[in-house]
Amino acid sequence: MTYDTHTLVHLCTSEEWLSARQTGEYRAPSLAEAGFIHLSSPQQVHLPANRLFRGRRDLVLLRIDPGRVGSPIEWEPGVPTDPAAMLFPHLYGPLPVAAVTGVEEYLPEADGTFAPRAE
């Protein structure tokens, strides 16, 4: 599989993003729990969105410049139900607000699912 590695994305709530903007960095709960922040390529973000956030309407999609994060990013397997050989980027450190190049609302379809992105 090929991925857009020039832009990575992360989903969080708009409230979490506002808080990150005040502190200058975003620390997802997974950073304390697993040691990394789950990222995605734009083409695969619908998979974790459907698994974790189905039906949620308070999400934003953070567009991230990997060259600005300052911590290692490793491409690693997701969960067993993901397509075979699919790898996801994991950020091993906090996400600096300065690495976020764009923020957009991320809404589900009428049935609560998130569709694949045409990027």
Full-model pTM: 0.91
Give the list of residues 6+ apart from residue 38 with CB closer than 8 angstroms, or none: 10, 28, 30, 48, 88, 90
Structural domain count, the chain: 1
Tens of pLDDT along the chain (119 residues)?
A: 445 557 899 999 999 999 999 999 999 999 999 999 999 999 999 999 999 999 999 999 999 999 999 999 999 998 888 887 889 999 999 999 999 999 999 999 999 999 998 77
- The CATH number that applies at residue 20 is 3.20.170.20
**Within 13 Å, how many C-alpha atoms sit on residue 70's CB side?**
10
Does 119 reside within a domain? no
CA-CA distances (angstroms) from residue 104 to 14, 23, 109?
10, 20, 16
Does 1 reside within a domain? no
* Domain ranges, residue 94: 8-105
Residue with tokens 């067993």: 80
Distance CA 52, CA 33 (A): 16
Does 116 reside within a domain? no
pLDDT of residue 2: 46
